[in-house]
Amino acid sequence: MPETTWENEIKQIRLPDEEVRKASLTRWNHLAKPLHGMGALETMLARIAGIQGRLHPSLQKKGIVVLCADNGIVKEGISQTGAEVTAVVAGNFLAGQTSVCKMAKVAGADILPYDIGILTDVEGLTKAEYKISCGTKDFLEEPAMTREEAIRAILTGMKIVKERKAQGYEILATGEMGIGNTTTSSAVACALTGEAAEVMTGRGAGLSDEGLLRKKEVITEGLAKRNPDPADPVDILAKVGGLDIAGLTGVFLGCARYQIPAVLDGFISSVAALAAVRIEPKVKEYLFASHRSKEPAHNRILEELGLEAVLDLGMALGEGTGACALFPLLDMAMMVYEEMSSFDDIQVEQYKEYTS
């Protein structure tokens, strides 16, 4: 598939409406409450208004896109569990039996799982139009995937957003499932930032000290062997990444292309977001950081993106759980924004803005 296909799509990305964003902030300031009293929730909702291009945005239809894929690097002993777990958990998304499924019921969000690269097909989930391959290769032995596969995964992520936009989704969160994907994420993060594996690698789902040391060694050796080009995110994704990360990169690009707010989950989706921003910097204006995960490198990636997480709950679950946790807060902010009286309504003088 020609690289020009997605490059042409990226050229269509434009910045959110700045005038609408400013008008939304003005509306916040006229509500009968202390100025900026709701903090980051005010600025987030104003950004959403700018993205949707309307003073009164809507968050009625929420989705959590969960991309599932296996990683060949699991063969190197960097995970507590085997690759077979990916398919089991992916099937549980359909049955509503994962953590994020339970949380999404409370948040009023739909779980939207995709098999983009699981080793085995999952009944009811696997569809040929979204599946790139049955997992990636072991990047200690060879590149994780071809450049063409990486581009197909990016395009698939963009396609998913286009389809969900047509179905009326107004905000999308990101999630993933794939044994070994904190290893691929750390490798991609190292290549994107120039940081060493020692800095960018955590315990993932709970590695022992010995397992963590092995994980760092594998990432360091793999980066040295594959030598990805730090100026080419697609090369990085292809050589040491995963299909879920490449697909999520496409989801973030697609959200910018089709003007949908995109909520990051934890470390893995944040790494994908950084890859997307490196491909097209305007993507950053569509991104919302939800929480700060337990992975030690997550802070570093958020700093690179210029984003600040509003939640710090010590979560390390994945699946889009941290992103889902932000949805109820946005709904509460929307209720205040739309239904609270203004100073004019209650005939009280408005607060004045003072700066020191």
Active site residues: 319
One-letter amino acid for residue 295 of the chain: E
Q: What is the distance between the alpha carbons of residues 98 and 185, in angstroms, rounded to a whole number?
A: 22
Q: How far is CA 324 from CA 107, 125, 153, in A?
A: 7, 21, 24
Give CA angle at 111 (9, 189), nearest 5°.
55
Q: How far is CA 283 from CA 43, 131, 273, 320, in A?
A: 17, 25, 8, 19
Sign of CA dihedral 291, 292, 298, 302: positive
DSSP 197-266: HHHH---TTT--HHHHHHHHHHHHHHHHHH---TT-HHHHHHHH--HHHHHHHHHHHHHHHTT--EEE-S
Dmax (CA) for the chain in angstroms is 72
Which residue from 188, 169, 318, 172 is spatially nearest to 243, judged by alpha carbons?
A: 188
